[in-house]
Structure 1
Amino acid sequence: MFSATVARKVVLSVCRASLRPGVTTVISLGYRGDAPEPTIIEIPLPPWQERTGESLDIKRKRLLYESRKRGMLENCILLSLFAKQYLNTMSEPQLKQYDRLINEPSNDWDIYYWATEAKPTPDVYQSEVMDMLKEFAKNKDMEQRLDAPNLEYLDKSN
């Protein structure tokens, strides 16, 4: 004769097996037909153009803003901290290089991969500023970089 434990296991396995087709039916009714064709719409970005007639002070402020507002956290942190450290001491040619570097590529991940040297930097973006950014990204001083810097450092007049 069956023991109570063996009988219980048999009953439970029969019950589970009888429930599975019902669950499968419910799940399969949730979606009917073939998968729709992927429709990816690519909106072309206008080509980057260097801004002419912009004072160095305005350019620095714009680049600071653009360094902070990237659309991906990794670059927001990396570029805003880099801008805090270097932007005020950059020469005009360096500012132009930085402007092109952060605004011309259409994919922010490319900038991140180049800066962290996960991918090789294209020759068109390889510059003194890119070398500075790569060195900064190495974080040799092992600073804790978890967030973009506060904006208090901008108000130096008070």
Structure 2
Amino acid sequence: MTRFNAPGFIEPEIDPNESPETRRKRLKFRSWHRGIKEADLLLGSFADTYLAKLSKEQLDRYEELLREADSDLVAWITSDREPPEHLNHDVMALLRGMDYLKIVK
């Protein structure tokens, strides 16, 4: 069994048989229901903007990010800390590139 660095809800292993539509719905729900409001706003807004446009490989990378602790994700997205090398990829760049100030207005 794989151990993930998340104190609350644990994302299941990626199911290759899950339909793309169901997967996107599940990832959107998980993006908006993280546990801390900051993560909800960052990841939920990202999901609303990008999930429909992401390739299968990008969805895989996003789903891997969702396995990380909220406090780490928020710090990486806001550039308070650099993400680990294996998580510093195109999806992280999209997360970091969003203008979140426009969203909360």
TM-score range, shorter chain: 0.7 to 0.9
Contact 2:28 2:47 in 1 (8 A): yes
Q: Are 1:89 and 2:48 an aligned pair?
A: no
Aligned partner of 1:115 in structure 2 is 77
TM-superposed deviation, 1:52:
2.4
TM-superposed deviation, 1:47:
8.5
The residue type paired with residue 143 of structure 1 is K
TM-superposed deviation, 1:132:
0.3
Give the distance between the partners of 1:100 and 1:145, measured in 2 at CA: 26
Q: What's the TM-score once normalised by structure 2's chain length?
A: 0.83
Aligned partner of 2:3 in structure 1 is none
Equivalent of 2:25 in 46, 61, 70? 61
Q: Are 1:76 and 2:76 an aligned pair?
A: no
Amino-acid identity (%): 30
The residue type paired with residue 84 of structure 1 is D
Q: What's the TM-score once normalised by structure 1's chain length?
A: 0.57
Aligned partner of 1:130 in structure 2 is 92
Q: Which runs of 4+ in 1 moved over 6 A?
A: none
Contact 2:45 2:103 in 1 (8 A): no
Give the distance between the partners of 1:131 and 1:87, measured in 2 at CA: 14
Equivalent of 1:143 in 97, 102, 105? 102
CA gap of 1:47–1:80, structure 2 versus 1, over 3 A, is closer
Q: Which has the higher contact order (CA 8 A, sep 6+)?
A: 2
Unmatched runs of 5 consecutive residues or more in structure 1: 1-42, 147-158
Give the distance between the partners of 2:28 and 2:12, measured in 1 at CA: 18
1:53-91 CA deviation, whole Å, 9 max, x = no partner? 111111100000000000000010111111101011111
Query: Secondary structure at the residue paired with 1:143?
Result: helix
The residue type paired with residue 124 of structure 1 is H
Larger CA Rg, structure 1 vs 2: 1
CA gap of 1:84–1:122, structure 2 versus 1, over 3 A, is same
